[in-house]
């Protein structure tokens, strides 16, 4: 495995209809790149996906998915900060991984294809119904 990581730039449309760029870490995988962290804002991409890029003056811009990993990405925005620890512990128990963002109350969750998605979705629906957070299915594997 190549230990050197590169940043892949993803352009996405924000909730305000403006376009933004998110950088996601990736490792070289033949002629392509494998995503090695959980995206926060870009949709339709997940941990482990193999993607093609365009090199524009040394910047790597996402073009297309070459091979989907089967992982899913969920973004969670918390309304009650005290629920972050309980939620992340439960997600970890369910077999998920997660990353915190620069926004304290916003996380992204990786759901490997070996995890029962229905169990995760039921847990998320319960938390959303209780008003702890809202979530978005950014990429379903």
Helix, coil or strand: residue 129: helix
Q: What is the DSSP secondary structure assignment for residue 38, as one 8-state letter?
A: -
Same domain, 77 and 43: no
The answer to whether 83 and 77 are in contact (CB under 8 A) is: no
Owning domain of residue 127: 72-139
Number of structural domains in the chain? 2
Same domain, 55 and 84: no
pLDDT tens per residue across span 35-50? 999 999 988 999 999 9
Strand 5-13 to strand 19-29: parallel, antiparallel, or no bridges (unpaired)? antiparallel
Low-confidence ranges of the chain (pLDDT < 50): 1-2
CATH of the domain at 93: 3.30.70.330
Query: Which pLDDT score is estimated for 139?
Result: 94
Same domain, 14 and 57: yes
Query: Which pLDDT score is estimated for 3?
Result: 64
Rg (CA), the chain: 15
**Distance separating alpha carbons of residues 97 and 52, to the nearest angstrom:** 25
Same domain, 77 and 135: yes
pLDDT tens per residue across span 10-35? 998 877 888 999 999 999 999 999 99
Q: What is the DSSP secondary structure assignment for residue 33, as one 8-state letter?
A: E
Same domain, 85 and 105: yes
């Amino acid at each position: 495995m190549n230990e050197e990581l590169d940043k892949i730039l993803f352009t996405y449309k924000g909730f305000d209809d403006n376009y933004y760029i998110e950088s996601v870490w990736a490792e070289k995988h033949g002629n392509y790149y494998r995503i090695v962290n959980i995206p926060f804002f870009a949709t339709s991409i997940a941990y482990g996906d193999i993607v093609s890029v365009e090199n524009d003056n040394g910047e790597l811009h996402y073009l297309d998915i070459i091979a989907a990993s089967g992982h899913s990405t969920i973004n969670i925005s918390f309304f009650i900060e005290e629920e972050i620890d309980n939620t992340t512990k439960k997600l970890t128990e369910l077999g998920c991984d997660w990353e915190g963002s620069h926004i304290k109350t916003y996380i992204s969750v990786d759901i490997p294809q070996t995890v029962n998605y229905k169990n995760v979705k039921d847990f998320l629906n319960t938390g959303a119904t209780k008003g702890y957070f809202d979530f978005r299915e950014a990429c379903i594997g």
